[in-house]
């Protein structure tokens, strides 16, 4: 059984159907990407999985049905979302934001170890731990959003456009970290408009078009597909 099993997921905003009935599955320890053009419905998939928008279809996580659960209950089951736009608490400090990531945990000793791990991954956050998060640069805010998700110690991490609006050097740092935590056994669903980057780091991928899955397969196979190359890789 896959860690995440999604069948016929549909998401609509009023009369606009953003997701038109997709299936996907992620096994424990996989890094899977979801790519597609802007407006294809990628972010709506993540919002549906987290219960942030009403959806149809069935979502099962670790065998349990998530349909109808509020977002906080889904998070408590072990899913964490790093949203597009980062979603940090601007008026809290870096350290307070990281503490918020671990608010459901009761293993204080391990929380301290994980906090040290985040500061090791992102030394800039350690330097700025007392600084208000809203005063950080865009790249530092993305590091903080990712660090906060790590502090939740989720079984599945949902990453929504982690490269958006960032300088190439910062993107490389963020993606090195994503690869590092995946290599340690983290399960990740990566939504990314930068298809080339997403396919480089993931094991499998789904290609979305107009709310539907157009292609799925091993990332290396998708990267060599003529349609994917022409539409998303600029080749």
Quick one: pLDDT at residue 15? 86
Q: Which of 33, 73, 83 is nearest to 51 (CA)?
A: 73
Percent of the chain at pLDDT exceeding 70: 99
pLDDT tens-digit readout, 159-171? 999 999 899 999 9
Residue 47 has pLDDT above 60, yes or no: yes
Quick one: pLDDT at residue 193? 86
CATH number of the domain where residue 7 is located:
3.40.50.300
The total number of structural domains that make up the chain: 2
Residue 85 has pLDDT above 90, yes or no: no
Q: Which residues pair with 17 in a beta bridge?
A: 12
pLDDT tens-digit readout, 182-196? 999 999 999 998 899
**Whether residue 166 sits in one domain with residue 68:** yes
The answer to whether residue 33 is domain-embedded is yes
Quick one: pLDDT at residue 235? 57
Q: Which of 226, 159, 218, 225 is nearest to 194 (CA)?
A: 159
Q: Tell me the backbone φ, ψ of residue 19, rounded to 5 degrees.
A: -130, 125
Residue 219 has pLDDT above 90, yes or no: yes
The answer to whether residue 83 is domain-embedded is no
CB-based burial label for 6 (10 Å; 0-12, 13-18, 19+): buried
CB-based burial label for 230 (10 Å; 0-12, 13-18, 19+): exposed
pLDDT tens-digit readout, 90-108? 999 999 999 999 988 889 9
Among the candidates 137, 152, 167, a domain finishes at 152
**Whether residue 119 sits in one domain with residue 9:** no
Residue 231 has pLDDT above 90, yes or no: no
- Range of 169's domain? 1-78+154-235
């Amino acid at each position: 059984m896959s860690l995440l099993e999604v069948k016929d997921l549909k998401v609509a905003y009023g009369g606009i159907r953003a997701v038109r009935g997709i299936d996907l599955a992620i096994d424990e320890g996989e890094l899977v990407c979801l790519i597609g053009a802007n407006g294809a419905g990628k972010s709506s998939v993540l919002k549906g999985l987290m219960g942030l928008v009403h959806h149809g279809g069935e979502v099962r996580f670790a065998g349990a049905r998530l349909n109808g659960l509020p977002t906080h209950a889904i998070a408590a089951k072990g899913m964490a979302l790093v949203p597009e736009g980062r979603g940090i608490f601007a008026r809290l400090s870096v350290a307070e934001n990281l503490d918020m990531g671990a608010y459901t945990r009761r293993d204080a000793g391990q929380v301290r170890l994980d906090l040290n791990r985040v500061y090791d991954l992102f030394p800039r956050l350690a330097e700025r731990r007392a600084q208000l998060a809203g005063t950080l640069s865009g790249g530092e805010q993305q590091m903080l959003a990712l660090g906060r998700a790590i502090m939740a110690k989720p079984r599945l991490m949902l990453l929504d456009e982690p490269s958006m609006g960032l300088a190439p050097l910062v993107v490389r740092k963020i993606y090195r970290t994503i690869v590092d935590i995946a290599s340690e056994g983290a399960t990740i669903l990566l939504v990314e408009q930068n298809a080339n980057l997403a396919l480089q780091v993931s094991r499998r991928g789904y290609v979305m078009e107009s709310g539907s899955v157009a292609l799925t397969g091993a990332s290396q196979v998708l990267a060599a597909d003529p349609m994917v190359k022409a539409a998303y890789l600029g080749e």
